[in-house]
Amino acid sequence: MAYCPKCKEEFREGFAVCEDCNVALVESLEGEEAELEELDVACTVSQEENAYIIRGYLESEGIPCQLENLTFHAAPGGALSKVKLWTKKTDVERARELLDAHEHSNFCSSCGHVAEANDTACDFCGSTFEN
């Protein structure tokens, strides 16, 4: 049997590509699931464009990242943005240290949100930043 690593559908022999996702099939999902279990959120940002900048910065420092875009574009008055940057659990602490030291930003120790340096509290969870 073959499986789609994206949608997890099972295919009988003779198929090499998932018809819905257009990705190559794999023989087992065990490795895919184990790899996902090793990920953790390095930070959460409120602007999509900043998430891409942060991802580029972390990847240039040797920390591969994946974005999870939770933006709700149909919100009244504009989009409600929230983007999570996922990385390996072993890289999370280093990623947070790099983000905390880089430029002018605050890093919320409660929820992982990255905010502007002049913010005194987290926009997402309300925790007060330490000076």
Angle at 44 (CA atoms; ends 59, 53), nearest 5 degrees? 40
Q: Give domain 38-116's CATH architecture.
A: 2-Layer Sandwich (3.30)
Q: What rounded mean pLDDT belongs to the chain? A: 79
Q: What is the pLDDT of residue 34?
A: 45
Where exactly are the structural domains of the chain? 1-37, 38-116
The residue ranking higher by pLDDT, 131 or 19, is 19
How crowded is residue 41: how many other Cβ atoms within 10 Å of its Cβ? 15
Q: Contact, 112 vs 99, CB < 8 A?
A: no
Asked if the model's pLDDT at residue 12 lies above 70, the reply is yes
80 pLDDT above the threshold of 50: yes
